[in-house]
Homo-oligomer: A and B are copies of this chain.
Amino acid sequence: MPNALVRKLEGYAPLEVSDRERLLNVCEKTAVVEADRYITRAGDSPKDVVVILEGLAVRSKLLRDGRRQILAFLVAGDFCDLHVAVLDRMDHDILAIMPCTVARISRNAVQEMTETRPRLAKALWWCTLVDEATLREWLVNLGQRDAEQRIAHLFCELQTRLQAVELTTDGSFGLPITQDELGDAMGLSAVHVNRSLKALRDAGLVSFRGRTIHIPDIERLQNFADFDPSYLHLRHGPEAESPVPLLRQA
């Protein structure tokens, strides 16, 4: 199975064969983190850069009173902390939601790659900037959209990102999270998440089989959620780069 990181980076720009080999080489030594284990904690000063090769993790921040906000879902191919090389310490946690296969890349290796391989350097920059753009889009999501649109938007994002690393089949992908976790990501209570999911289901916008999500008509869901994939800056438009029609219905 080809490496998710390679697939992701090639979704941004073509790599040279030697770049690809270097990446595979650097991802060779892997480890597995069990579900519900922290990959990194706030306050850590991680020595290595961690990449998720398989599984699902979240970036999250805990408040003093115990509430938490999930800031991002990390899927295969995603870096946990590419940046923190520069800052002193992590200001948030990385938590495995399901068992994750991760590779730890030493900072030296990262530095060597970025200094000697301009394409790779650019691709890594891309990752950082897409992470930031995604954060902005989440802010729009929490600030401006109601619960149903919010969740729909997340599903659109995940569908697009997982498709980029070839982890979707048809309009389906696995998302083994609880409604509680979904609530922590969307700034909603679990109960309200539940009701909103029901509404989305009843509207025929999404369906669930076990813990996999099926989107019967992606364009319709994107339209409902006002989802515009351009913030993910993928090279191949996910598919429909047609100008999307306006607004949503009830």
Contact = CB atoms under 8 A, between A and B. Distances in A.
Contacts of A126: 86-87
Contact of A86 (B64, B83, B129): B129
Contacts of A137: 61
A140 B61 contact: yes
Contacts of A59: 136
Given A64-B246, A129-B87, A71 B233 contact: no
Contact of A143 (B88, B122, B133, B186): B186
Q: How many copies does the complex hold?
A: 2
Interface residues of A, number: 42
Given A86-B126, A91-B230, A139 B140 contact: no
Nearest to A245: B64
A244 to B, nearest CB: 9
A190 B83 CA distance: 36
Contacts of A129: 83-84, 86-87
Interface string A218-235: 000000001000110100
Please indicate which of the listed interface residues A71, A122, A231 has the most CB atoms of chain B within 10 Å of its own CB.
Answer: A71
Nearest to A185: B143
A163 to B, nearest CB: 20
A238 interface: no
Interface in A126-142: 126, 128-129, 131-133, 135-140, 142
11 contacts: A65-B247, A69-B139, A71-B140, A87-B129, A87-B233, A135-B135, A135-B139, A138-B139, A139-B142, A142-B143, A143-B187
Interface of A: 59, 61, 63-65, 67-69, 71, 83-84, 86-88, 91-92, 122, 125-126, 128-129, 131-133, 135-140, 142-144, 184, 186-187, 226, 230-231, 233, 246-247
